[in-house]
């Protein structure tokens, strides 16, 4: 997963621009990271595909890279890196979506040096969704992005992060709301625990963290 969310510290527009630049480099197949190891200058770059011949002499290929998924931020984050005409901030996830799909066009059009999807899809992981209505909103936004970029319907696939109580309690409905797009579901246990505490804490003390994993809800 190429992360625009929890595992990166993108606290302002300048930081986020670096994240976007790296992800564009991944989809172009041009991202490189020089480093020094044991006194030697080295460069990390995407692996090439592996070509070989089978026992019949036919050429075969194995992808040299895993499929890249991109995790955007949730619906409730706003950013001043883009402003509306009247000066208001915009949902950061809207910008993440457009940049992600724009970067993936290199892959979809076959102009990347390192192909990602073998089926012509863009894989976006969406976190922090509180129930099926937010999943439905995400699916609608994906549809609008497809219209904007002239892509066929359901090109953009959705990974649902199950890390909010309303999503866990209504997971079947969440899947139904985006059934044509969902390609995986993953539970973020730390965020899911935090939301359980946040949801219940006004009703009284919650169990200690060490006991949290023994609770029925998890």
pLDDT > 90? residue 37: yes
pLDDT band at 12; cut points 50, 70, 90: confident
Q: Are 96 and 72 in contact (CB under 8 A)?
A: yes
Q: How many residues in the chain?
A: 218
> What is the reported pLDDT for 201?
79
pLDDT digits (tens, 9 = 90+) for 194-204: 888 888 877 88
Distance between CA atoms of 74 and 58, rounded to whole angstroms? 46
Q: DSSP for the chain?
A: -EESSTTS---SHHHHHHHHHHHHHHHHT---EEEEETTEEEEE-PPPPEEEE-TT--EEEE-SSPPP-EE---TT-EEEEEE-TTS-EEEHHHHHHHHHHHHHHHHHTT--SS---SSS-EEEEE----SHHHHHHHHHHHHHHHHHHTPPTT-EEEEEEE-SHHHHHTHHHHHHHTTTTEEEEEE-HHHHHHHHHHHHGGGSPPPPHHHHTTSTT-
Q: Is the pLDDT of residue 97 over 90?
A: yes
Report the percent of the chain where pLDDT is more than 90.
78
Mark 16-52 as b/e (b = at least 16 C-beta within 10 Å). Answer: beebbeebbbbbbbebeeeeeeeeeeeeeebeeeeee
Q: How large is the average pLDDT for residues 55-66?
A: 92
Maximum Cα–Cα distance for the chain, whole Å? 70
pLDDT at 125 over 80: yes
**Under 8 Å CB-to-CB from 113, ≥6 apart: which residues?**
28, 29, 30, 46
- Label residue 109 by pLDDT band (50, 70, 90): very high
Question: What pLDDT does residue 165 have?
Answer: 87
How many C-beta atoms surround the C-beta of residue 108 within 10 A? 20
Q: Report, as an integer, the average pLDDT of 165-184.
A: 95
Q: Sorting pLDDT into bands at 50, 70 and 90, what band is 206?
A: confident
């Amino acid at each position: 997963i190429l992360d625009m969310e929890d595992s990166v510290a993108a606290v302002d527009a300048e930081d986020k621009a670096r994240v976007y630049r790296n992800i564009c480099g991944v989809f172009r197949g041009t991202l490189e990271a020089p480093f020094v190891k044991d006194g030697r200058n080295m460069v990390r770059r995407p692996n090439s595909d592996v070509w070989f011949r089978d026992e019949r002499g036919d050429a075969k290929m194995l992808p040299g890279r895993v499929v890249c998924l991109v995790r955007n931020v949730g619906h409730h984050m706003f950013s001043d890196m883009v402003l509306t005409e009247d000066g208001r901030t915009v949902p950061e996830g809207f910008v993440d979506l457009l940049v992600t799909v724009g970067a993936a066009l290199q892959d979809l059009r076959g102009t990347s040096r390192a192909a990602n999807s073998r089926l012509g899809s863009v894989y976006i992981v969406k976190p922090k969704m509180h129930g099926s209505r937010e999943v439905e909103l995400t699916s609608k936004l994906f549809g609008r992005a497809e219209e904007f970029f002239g892509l066929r319907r359901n090109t953009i696939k959705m990974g649902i992060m199950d890390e909010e109580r309303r999503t866990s309690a209504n997971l079947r409905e969440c899947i139904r709301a985006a059934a044509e797009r969902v390609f995986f579901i993953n539970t973020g246990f730390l965020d899911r625990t935090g939301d359980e505490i946040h949801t219940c804490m006004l009703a009284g003390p919650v169990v200690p963290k060490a006991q949290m994993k023994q609770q029925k809800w998890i």
